[in-house]
Amino acid sequence: MLDKIIISKIKLRDEEKIIRIYRRSLWFWWRQIMVSAVLLILPFFLLFPLLQKDQVGLAAGSIIFLAGFVVLVKIYLDYRLNIFILTNKRVIDMVHHGFFNFSLSSVLYAKIQDVSCDSRGLRGFLWRLGDVYVTLAEATFKLQLPTIRHPEKIMNEIIYYQELFTSGQSGQDDRAWRLLYKIKEKVGAEEFQKLIAD
């Protein structure tokens, strides 16, 4: 249901279809998840001392538990509402701020100058996490998709659809192009070149 609400905020153009929706990894919010877990569990560990304080202790325990619940709801909303959408014509970045505000950025593939990815540290190595950056032509800012799984695959997919869009193929049935792209990704660029050269 939440996905339908999100997609209703995005006005798709003629012959435009959503190809993929990406979300940040839950690792992006690991600190907030830990804080929420501590706040949710803490009243149960302090149950006897809080109950000895009568009404004040019960109110303090309830407030701590409620704060943990609010943090958990905020994490869930951020996870579900911060999305990066690939369509056959553009890239859409929707960022949720607070509980009620959001910003929506949309870039046609023709306006993209560069796509890059960055993966750092042990967390990036072990869980294949990283950031994807989309640099716009004639602009001083980048669209960023932080802490996402397999950033190199997402980068390659954006580049693929950018090439498809600029070659004029985006409105047509592109199953054959997708298949060729998957084969190229599986066997590697050099082997793929050898295959098509024969």
Q: Mean pLDDT of all residues in the chain?
A: 83
- Hey, what amino acid is at 92? I
Give me the number of domains the chain comprises. Answer: 2
Query: Is there a single domain that holds both residue 137 and residue 182?
Result: yes
What is the domain extent for residue 61? Answer: 30-77
Query: Is there a single domain that holds both residue 139 and residue 73?
Result: no
Say what the pLDDT of residue 66 is.
96
Is the pLDDT reported for residue 188 higher than 80?
no
Q: Is the residue at 134 inside a domain?
A: yes
Query: Is there a single domain that holds both residue 17 and residue 35?
Result: no
Q: Is the residue at 168 inside a domain?
A: yes
Q: What is the radius of gyration, based on Cα positions, of the chain? A: 22
Query: Is there a single domain that holds both residue 138 and residue 69?
Result: no
pLDDT 10s digits, 60-104: 888 999 999 999 998 898 888 888 999 988 999 888 887 778 888
Q: Is the residue at 7 inside a domain?
A: yes
Q: Is the residue at 36 inside a domain?
A: yes
* Angle at alpha carbon of residue 78, lines to 8 and 102, rounded to 5°: 50
What angle, 0 to 180 degrees and rounded to 10, lies between the N-to-C axes of helices 151-166 and 175-187? 140
pLDDT 10s digits, 128-153: 888 999 988 776 778 888 888 889 99
